[in-house]
Every structure is written in C-alpha cells, then in structure tokens.
Amino acid sequence: MSEANLPFNEKVYVNKDKSSTGEKLKQEWEKSINNPLKFWAEKAKAIDWFKTWDRVLDDSNPPFYKWFSGGVLNITYNALDRHVKSKKKNKLAYIWEGERGEVKTYTYYQLYREVNKFAKALKDFGLKKGDRVAVYLPMIPELPITLLATVRLGGVHTVVFSGFSAEALADRINDSGAKILVTADGSYRRGKIVPIKNNADQALQNTPNIEKVIVVKRTGKEVTMKEGRDHWYHETLTNAGASAYVEPEPMQATDPLFILYTSGTTGKPKGVQHGTGGYLVWAYWTLKWGFNPNEEDIWWCTADIGWITGHTYNVYAPLSLGITSLFFEGTPDYPAKDRWWNIIEKHGVTILYTTPTAVRMFMKFGEELINKHNLSTLRLLGTVGEPINPEAWKWYYNVIGKKKLPIIDTWWQTETGGYMIAPLAGIELVPLKPGSATYPLPSIKAEVYNEKGETVDVGVKGFLVVKSQWPGMLQTLWKDPERFKQTYFGRWPNIYYTGDYAVKDQDGYLWLLGRADEVLKVAGHRLGTVEIESALVSHPAVSEAAVLGKEDPVKGEVPVAFVVLRSDISPSEELRLDLIKHIRTTIGPIATPAAIAMVKRLPKTRSGKIMRRLLKAILTGAPLGDISTIEDEASIEDIKATYEDLKRQLEK
C-alpha cells in the first residue's frame, strides 16, 4: 500500500458517537508506560497463579526479557479448571462446525474432560515436561484439545499448518525435536479428502525423533498404521478412561509454551518461542481490550489454529477469558459462497474476526449473498494479518456492519503474541479511520524510524519499531538465540524491529504499510521469498531463482517467480506445471507462484547480487531508476520480454 492516498483526515464515528475524546485510552497507556511493573502486577491478577512471581519483569539480560519470573502456573488450569469450578462449568467453550455441516459443542466441563483424557494418554506414552509435540491437524476439535492436553503436562507444542507439505512438516519436526506427532487420517477441503496422513507418513521417513504417532479418525479413509508407532486417537482415549484426571503440571512463567515456525528472510523458517506466564497475560488482556467479549458473546476468529492468530485468539485468549468461541473446519465458499453468513445466522455469532483477504473476496462475490442472511446478531467486526485498504474497510463497515459496527483492525505478528496496535473497544473506542489500526496498546511504545534510526515526521513512511517491552513478546527463536538477537534487536540495540513499514498521521494514528523485508503476506499467510527461491532451485531444471510479491486485488499480494534454467533445459509449459507441483510438495499449495517466468539471466550487480528492485519495477511497469551498478544490461530486455506472458498467467 502506498501512503500517498491514505484518508488521513477521514474520521468515522460509529453510530455518530462523537463523545470519545481518547482521554481514557491515553491515561491507560501512560500508566502502562510510566510504571509498567505496577501496571502489569495489577493486570496479572486476572490469571490464577499457583505461586506469585518474584519479579514482574527481569530485564537483567536484554533482549532476553523474563516476564513474571518466579511465578508458577498452568495455562490449562486458567483455561479450564478455574471455569469448571465456577458458574461457567456448563457454559459453552466451543461451538464447532465441520465442513459438511455437522455441529459439535463443548461446554467448559466437557472440554476439560476431553483434555484430561488425552493428557492421560500422552502421559502414558511418556510425554514429560519440556517434551515437544508436533501437531498436524485440520480445524477439528481434537486440535485445541491436543494443544491443551500437551500444555497440561508441561509439554511444548509446535503446530504445523495442515496445508504444509510433508517436507515442511519434517523440517519442523526435526528442528523442534518432537517425539510425538498428532495427525489425522485426512481432512476435508471443498468436499474432497486431503490425505494428510500420507503426507505425515512421508515426513516420518525422515524424522528419527518421533516415537509415537496419534491419528484422529476424521474421514474414515483407509490409512496405513505402523505397528507399535501409530495409534488411533479414540482408542487412546478409551484406554485413558472416561473419568481420567491429570494434575496440571506446575510451570514456571518463563517455561516455553509453544514453538511456532514462521517465515523470515532466509530459507530456514524461524521457530518463534513463546513463554507461559507473559504470553497468557498478554493474550487475556489484548482480547479483553480489543473486543471486550462478554458472557453472551459468540466469538468467531476465522483463523486456522496452524497460525498465530488461531493459537492466541481461538485457543488461549478466549478460553482464559471463559467465553464462547466458534470455529469452522471448511472454506468460506464451500458448498456455496454464503457459507460464512450462513454460519453467523445459524449460530448467532456476535463478533467476527477475519482477514482483509476474506473481506475483499466477499466484496467480489457481491452483496446479494450477504443480504439474504440475517446478520443482526453481530456487534463487532475485526481484521488481522495484512493491511486493509480503505476501500475494503468501508465495504466491511457499510455492508457487513450496516454502518453501525466498529472495525477493530489489529496489527501484530507471530512474534508479538497478541495485538500491538488496534482500536480498543474494551477501554475506549477512538474515532476510526478507514485503513488505520489507530493507536498502540498499553505498554507499546511504537515509533516510525528512518534508515538512520531517527523518528520521522508526521506523514513520512518509515520502519515501525517498538521501544518498550510487553508480556507477550517472543522469548527467543528455538535453539537460535543469536538469530533472535540479530533479527529483532540487531538493527537498533534493544529496540524491537518489526520488519514493517508504517506512517503516523497528524493525529498520531498509525497506518501499517506492509513488510519492509523479503517476507510476503499472501492472503494473510506469511511466506518468505527466499524459502520459495530455495524450493525452486532444488528442482533439477533450475539454476537460479528470484521471487517477489506482486500486488493482488484480493490476496493483497501473490508470489511471482523468475527462474533461470540449466543450460541443457528449454522452457516449456510442462516444466512450468512441474515447477508448480514441486513448490506444492516442498512447501505447500499456499506458496504456489501466481506466475513463473523462465529467463536466460537475472539482472545482477557486478558483485553478483540479484537486483530485485529492478525485477519489481519491471513487473509493475515502474521506472527502473538507477541501473549503473548492473552487470549485464541485456538482462533487462530478457525480463521485459516475459512481461506479456506473466500478465497472461496472472490473469488466469
């Protein structure tokens, strides 16, 4: 997104309410900045601790900050046991709708029983505190149950999005050193069965650490079960016994909770590690501040639990708050393009939290499908994952929100654990601006820097940084503290570098402008260009590759690849299809390039660096700028010659 056309001056007063001055929000923010220790000591009381912390924040070894050190807790006690001991015992924790329309509900008590049974099963398989469990499951109830059962025992989960390939799964299993894998016999995708157990089996050929594989029967499709290693999930529950109870393991606040792999600027995904106490406190408060869900709400976060949004806002935040969440297995357009509106009407969803890509897709589908449904239960709308363009924002506000519902645009990252910049319905809702995530949350001192690390003027685009600490910040990168330091605190010492561009307007509102590094957001999914390049060059026909993002009206951006073939290989449609297949099997379908150009050479500097800036300019038709450092000018003509072909592929 370019900052030139942003509506800096357009204020939207929801329900024409002009009473908000922002004063209350400002006071809360100042309190948190002036005395963070006091502020968080107070907030952390929302969590049940087995033992209170010794220090709210141990900052003796930056950037390895330790929140609530000395504190002891178990997250599942907060997510389940404490509600089971209260009036919430028989309140719905989850409403689940399967792709085929089946509905299952879990009260807090039922969820507690399921989690205890599976925790007992995992314990019987030898899972101990600190052990890692890899999870490769579709959006079915067994997914949150597995996470909670793992964490009850003090295990560390690493969820691999079920759309990732066998190779991606094996890499993550090996890096995390998981000894148990939980998967399913298949998953449903637009009416078809995706054989994820086959993917898992393929991955398992190269994952020596895995001792046990637990398989959920979702589709009933026949799968191979390896004797001694593979066990059916439902049988493990039967063996555990219907009334199984497992004591929640007392965990240090600073013990790791989960590892979630996310793309960075190298070919190797980063294992973002979150801790127990700080993360939970942040998850709890960010959801409360952002949406202030109440006892009557039905909260629907549409994110897959394979990504951070699902971890925090489908599992840990709503359960620790004790609210009712809905989650859905399928896709928005199957069996019809009004599936979501159907779900909202059918279950009476009150808060919808989704992505700009989904909003833009529905814009394309048209209003008729929406107006067929009674969406009057909705009271709040949210977005996450990528910049929302003002046009999509307004459509969301007008058509879904009927000009009455606030749009809570939440900016954050896998690394931040929860919201960082967002309007806060739970404190004070400031006037909104279409396309702005408004102000930072309490504790977040966000600034926009230029290359030199100086704060830029109002209206000038720069790098978004955070100069403060907050409880939800990542602890480190799994087994790679050096990379953690370098990536996030290396550019400006002790200042968190987000990798995003942003601009602040005259009212202090922040506008997020996308990534400033080699990371793409494709339909809200985070992908590294270098990862896709590495996958391409691992194909025998390819000698070099450059991948970049191209703006897309629905998905925000899509990957476009330029490849140089080995000298004995000639370009062909067949090869193009084979390269696509190769990407799908090495990373997963989400990384499929929207277009691939086969070129003789790539524009490079004399020192051999690929000039991506130039590729991007050619791709978008922008001026080429300074090309004095180029090694071989003819490469530009080569690239230009592919323009029509790329356009044709992109239009498909």
Binding positions for ligand WTA, rule: CB under 6 A: 262, 307-309, 384-387, 409-414, 437, 498-500, 512, 514-515, 521, 526
Q: Which is nearer to ligand WTA, 314 or 413 (CB)?
A: 413
CA dist 185 and 203 (Å) reads 15
Minimum distance from residue 8 beta carbon to ligand WTA (Å): 16
Q: Which is nearer to ligand WTA, 322 or 499 (CB)?
A: 499
Minimum distance from residue 514 beta carbon to ligand WTA (Å): 6
Strand partners, 624: none
Torsion angle of the four alpha carbons 386, 390, 396, 399, in this order, in degrees rounded to the nearest 10: -160
Strand partners, 183: 136, 215
Q: Which is nearer to ligand WTA, 416 or 642 (CB)?
A: 416
Task: Count CB-CB contacts under 10 A for residue 535.
Answer: 27
Q: Which is nearer to ligand WTA, 310 or 332 (CB)?
A: 310
Residue with tokens 């459509």: 395
Sort strands 251-252 and 230-232 into parallel, antiparallel or unpaired: unpaired
Q: Which is nearer to ligand WTA, 186 or 264 (CB)?
A: 264
Minimum distance from residue 466 beta carbon to ligand WTA (Å): 12
Per DSSP, the chain holds a count of helices (H) and strands (E) of 22, 30
CA dist 638 and 621 (Å) reads 15
Residue closest to 154 by CA, chosen among 75, 81, 214:
75
Minimum distance from residue 498 beta carbon to ligand WTA (Å): 6
DSSP letters spanning 275-325 = ESHHHHHHHHHHHHHHH---TT-EEEE-S-TTSHHHIIIIIIHHHHHT-EE
Minimum distance from residue 556 beta carbon to ligand WTA (Å): 9
CA dist 82 and 87 (Å) reads 10
Q: What are phi and psi of 435, to 5 degrees?
A: 105, -5
Q: Which two tokens stand for residue 238?
A: 């039967």
| Cis peptide preceding 248, ω within 30 of 0 | no
Minimum distance from residue 487 beta carbon to ligand WTA (Å): 12
Minimum distance from residue 356 beta carbon to ligand WTA (Å): 8
Reduced to 3 states (helix: H, G, I; strand: E, B; else coil), residue 431 is: coil
CA dist 423 and 442 (Å) reads 11
Q: Which two tokens stand for residue 80?
A: 């389940």
Alpha helices in 322-355 (DSSP H): 339-347
CA dist 172 and 164 (Å) reads 11
Minimum distance from residue 57 beta carbon to ligand WTA (Å): 24
Q: Which is nearer to ligand WTA, 305 or 579 (CB)?
A: 305
- Asked if 274 and 281 touch (Cβ cutoff 8 Å), the reply is no
Q: Which is nearer to ligand WTA, 525 or 539 (CB)?
A: 525
Minimum distance from residue 310 beta carbon to ligand WTA (Å): 10
Minimum distance from residue 409 beta carbon to ligand WTA (Å): 5
Q: Which is nearer to ligand WTA, 210 or 358 (CB)?
A: 358
Q: Which is nearer to ligand WTA, 186 or 588 (CB)?
A: 588
Minimum distance from residue 468 beta carbon to ligand WTA (Å): 18
Minimum distance from residue 341 beta carbon to ligand WTA (Å): 23
Minimum distance from residue 269 beta carbon to ligand WTA (Å): 11
Going by the DSSP 8-state scheme, the letter that residue 428 receives in this structure is B
Task: Count CB-CB contacts under 10 A for residue 183.
Answer: 31
CA dist 362 and 43 (Å) reads 38
Minimum distance from residue 307 beta carbon to ligand WTA (Å): 6
Q: What are phi and psi of 241, to 5 degrees?
A: 95, 145
Going by the DSSP 8-state scheme, the letter that residue 59 receives in this structure is -
Q: Which is nearer to ligand WTA, 394 or 515 (CB)?
A: 515
Q: Chain centroid to CA 561: how far?
A: 24
Q: Which is nearer to ligand WTA, 107 or 438 (CB)?
A: 438
CA dist 95 and 86 (Å) reads 20
Q: Which is nearer to ligand WTA, 253 or 437 (CB)?
A: 437
Q: Which is nearer to ligand WTA, 255 or 386 (CB)?
A: 386
- Asked if 59 and 37 touch (Cβ cutoff 8 Å), the reply is no
Strand partners, 262: 270
**Amino acid, res. 36:** P
Q: Which is nearer to ligand WTA, 216 or 283 (CB)?
A: 283
Strand ranges, E, within 86-190? 92-97, 103-107, 132-136, 156-159, 180-184, 187-189
